[in-house]
Structure 1
Amino acid sequence: MNISDKKSRIFLAVVIVLSLALSTVFMMNKQGYHEDELLTYNLANSANTLKTDGEWNSGADFIDYLSVSDGDRFNYEQVYENQIIDASHPPFYYGLVHTVCSLFPNQFSRYFAFSINVLAMAGILIMLFKIVKRITKNNLYALIATGAFAFSIACTTMTIYLRMYATLTFFVLSMIYMNLKIFERKNTAKFTDFLILGLITLLGTLTQYYFILFEGLTGLIMLVFQIKERNIKDLIKYIITAVLGSAAALCIYPYIITNVLGGNRGFGSLSISIDPITVVTYFAYKIGTYIQVLAKDVFLNQIWLLALCSAALIGFWIYLRFVRKEKLSRTAFMAFVPSLVYFVAISLVSPFNSDRYIMASLPMLVTIFVLALIKFTRVTGKKWLTTAVPICLAVTCAIGYITVKPYYMYGVKTELYTPQTSKCVFV
């Protein structure tokens, strides 16, 4: 069962519009901010800081802290310097935020950074569709998988969180897609393919340091499969592209090395005792915490449902692999395995327990479960099950929005004081 390219593009456009409209509704009802969301605006726009010694910060102080002044519009040097001082993230995303904010000097609005997330999410959904289409060779399956993520709590949460993680996820999926495209060309990849891959490597590295881990994982698998397929010509070009892209990122922002190795978002954030009991306890605690996060974002906030689906997925894979003797295609392996390893690795090294650190893996994790469900219906040969899959996913997504509140919405209720005006920001 399939649909034409023309119909799939129309349906994909509808999915993207509806998904972003839904996220916009949640954004309109967002009543507060995570402190990092306000840091997004400060680090992108201003060298000013707030008074922290007990003095009063006026409204003007906050405007100076969060917005671009008339004299600092399109001042990317200041953006660059802010990231050096902060020493947590590279500057590209902040440059995007600064560009939007520079069009509206002396103003603060949640929609400035949100507009970047909207564009990134549109790109994410397009890339996800193209990736699944390359894996399955089926427009309908790609559309179902994309829709399942587009209408998940994970998608909305990523879109309304005013940080760099939607942009990071776009570059991660773009990296996966270009790897699949180059791999399938079998030594006939075009110069433009490697040029795009190099640009993705450069911008992804300059967006968030976790991109480096994903780049390494996808690159390692690409290396192994290209050697097995004897695609040595493309492999050499691929390695050169990766090296040049990474070198360009280091030339633009050489602080990447010190930040990754010693910063509070790199290896410097790790402080695990070598005591075996401590290591096991730490591993169980971190993985367990992120399983809860995954359950909320994708499985209706029900760990038992995630456990049930995971057990069914593993059991079905064992059946396919050892009974039906069906191996996972290399394109599927290249797309899914890095996301699984990334989820586990980031769960262990993240400085805080938060869904934002694993956001880049969520589209592919959702896709794994959706494609397994589709494969199950094909194995059974029951046509009514094929029709039931999108209906089941639609109902699940609807229940999710009814029963689960996306992260980063916050509220105005407080026991500390009674707000005297609606013109205030809650952090």
Structure 2
Amino acid sequence: MKRIYTKDRVLYWMTLSLSLIICLYFANQKVGYHIDELYSYGLANSYSHPFPNAINQWLSGSYYHDYLSADWAHRFNYLAVYQNQVQDVHPPLYYFLLHTISSCVPGIFSKWLGLGLNLVSHLLSLTMIILIGRKMSTQSYIPYALALLWGLSVGGLNTFLFIRMYSLLTCMGLILLYQIICLLDQGHYHLRSWIGLSLTVMLGSLTHYYFIIYAGLLFIFWLVIQLRRSQWKFLIKVGSAGLIGLGLAYLFFPAMISHLTQSNRGSETLTNLRQVGLGQNLLTYLRFINWELLGKMPWGLFLAIFIISVIVYYQKRPYLKHTRSNLTQKLLIIGPALAFFALVQVISHYLTPRYIYLIYPQLILYFAYYPLAAWSSFKDWRKYLTGAVFALMLIFNLYQPTLTYTYPQQYQLNQTINSRSPVNAIVLTDQKWKLIRLTTYLQDYQHVYPWSAKEWSIDSFPQLADHQQSLDIYILDQAFPLSQIKGTLKQVYPDFQSKITYQDQTLTLIHLE
């Protein structure tokens, strides 16, 4: 027994260490941000202005720096975070945690603050996958193989690299799944389990509203299983734990009701539920799974491997056909996940894989378990066959040259801006909400003029505060014709030489000196 425990401990730390190294490697490659990642920092740390939408006036670069980082005067100001989230469309738990980390290093904005929080969630998720895998299999190495197949997959790494609440959401979903499976095995009520279940539902609901959907589906599947056993008291107690957890989340954050029913996100969700067909976005979301979990493996090949593995698995272990616990565990893993997938691909307002990151581990737990377990049943060739299957699955998992959230395309822009130190900047945009995209750059200027005008006019062009200083002009999404801008610059700043130093489909950067 001691030898088994030692072996498991070694495998556990090897799994976490390998995942940690890979995560840190790709985290170091991250050189840019999605607009929502910048909102994560801003909503967690800004005071009195949850959105950096000030326009048509000269601002200090510190306006943007204070938006992204926690300043000394407002460290650990959770009331400000709470109020920001009331005005946003998400619950506050993730932002509380990010603000706590930022408050420990006031005045500093860094990708490592958000990635550090995600890394803890990622490692906890790996731990939960291992614990669930131990419930599924008696083979000591299968739980760790399952954990690595998710943790090192494109989907798992994207979940970690995206500085939003989805890594924490995935962790909360796995904790709840593990608790429900444990309750299934126990078959009776413990006060400690009841309290833990309530806390998980409360914290998950305060992380992202999609957790409520997953938790509801998980409870429904569990309750249906319990109805067959006629354990009414047990059923009522566990059901009440979930409802109390949801009620506590509402009491802490009543704005969740208006978010779900009256906000733009809530309205879009309800509209999609009424108008979008069940299969309208299905192929798109299946493509996400294929890219991020299967390495673009042909679906025919995947289904063939899975079906053959299931047949081999049950032929080698015929007694499992009659093991109710084994089958119900797998039903609790895959049933709610597939139901969640079917629902989310209908109601989601954007077609993006982030909304199904929550169920990526469950898909790995179910669909990767059978190939690993089936081929490990051949005693003479167990190690070789299982190792070959694991290696093949891992290779397909990692077969993608670039992860979504590292943004290598922003490296050139970073180098262009960092190669000099201009004092002033003017930003031309047709919509003020787009300014968030440039906050990481604007924070380094002394003066910034975010300008939004419906019509191009030389009379309204902001005059440079100090004509002796260099100037950068950012043009977002070709807000104004570039030829007109160049002509105006020659008239307004005749002593300056202008040069386009960076240009892509969404941004043009002109430098004057």
Instruction: Check the 8 A contact 2:86/2:255 in 1, yes or no.
Output: yes
Letter in 2 for 1:73: R
CA distance in 2, matches of 1:68, 1:321: 56
Letter in 1 for 2:182: K
Match of 1:174, SS state, is helix
Letter in 2 for 1:308: L
RMSD across aligned positions (CA): 2.9
CA distance in 1, matches of 2:383, 2:265: 44
The 5 Å alignment of 1:320-339 reads: 326=321, 329-339=327-337
Give, in angstroms, the shift of residue 271 of structure 1.
3.0
1:193 aligns with 2:193: yes
Residue equivalent to 2:402? 405
Name which of structure 1's ranges 199-208 and 230-239 shifts more when overlaid on structure 2. Answer: 230-239
Instruction: Check the 8 A contact 2:309/2:371 in 1, yes or no.
Output: no
Residue equivalent to 1:227? 227
CA deviation string 1:168-221 (max 9, x = no partner): 11110000100011111122x321111111110110000000000111111111
CA deviation string 1:260-285 (max 9, x = no partner): 233344464343497xxx85xx5444
Change (3 A) 1:152 1:415: closer
Match of 1:105, SS state, is coil
Match of 1:74, SS state, is coil
Name which of structure 1's ranges 50-59 and 151-160 shifts more when overlaid on structure 2. Answer: 50-59
Residue equivalent to 2:108? 107
* Identity within the alignment, %: 26
CA deviation string 1:83-109 (max 9, x = no partner): 1111x1101110000110111111101
Name which of structure 1's ranges 309-318 and 128-137 shifts more when overlaid on structure 2. Answer: 309-318
When the two structures are aligned, how many residues end up with a matched partner? 415
Residue equivalent to 1:387? 384
CA distance in 2, matches of 1:330, 1:52: 55
Letter in 1 for 2:362: M
> Which runs of no fewer than 5 residues in structure 2 stay unpaired?
422-437, 442-506, 508-513
Change (3 A) 1:67 1:326: same
Residue equivalent to 1:77? 79
CA distance in 2, matches of 1:390, 1:193: 37
Change (3 A) 1:58 1:407: farther
Letter in 2 for 1:174: I
CA distance in 2, matches of 1:144, 1:17: 14
Give, in angstroms, the shift of residue 233 of structure 1.
3.1
Residue equivalent to 1:237? 237
CA deviation string 1:335-355 (max 9, x = no partner): 221112212221221111111
CA distance in 2, matches of 1:97, 1:253: 18
CA distance in 2, matches of 1:272, 1:233: 38
CA distance in 2, matches of 1:326, 1:79: 52
Change (3 A) 1:352 1:397: same
Instruction: Check the 8 A contact 1:15/1:150 in 2, yes or no.
Output: no
Residue equivalent to 1:22? 22
TM-score, normalised to structure 2, is 0.74
Residue equivalent to 1:53? 55
The 5 Å alignment of 1:298-337 reads: 298-302=293-297, 304=298, 306-314=299-307, 326=321, 329-337=327-335
Name which of structure 1's ranges 146-155 and 26-35 shifts more when overlaid on structure 2. Answer: 146-155
Name which of structure 1's ranges 390-399 and 329-338 shifts more when overlaid on structure 2. Answer: 390-399
Residue equivalent to 2:360? 362
CA distance in 1, matches of 2:19, 2:6: 20
The 5 Å alignment of 1:144-163 reads: 144-163=145-164
CA distance in 1, matches of 2:138, 2:56: 62
CA distance in 2, matches of 1:267, 1:308: 40
Name which of structure 1's ranges 132-141 and 263-272 shifts more when overlaid on structure 2. Answer: 263-272
Give, in angstroms, the shift of residue 360 of structure 1.
0.6
Larger radius of gyration: 2
Higher helix share: 1
Letter in 2 for 1:301: K
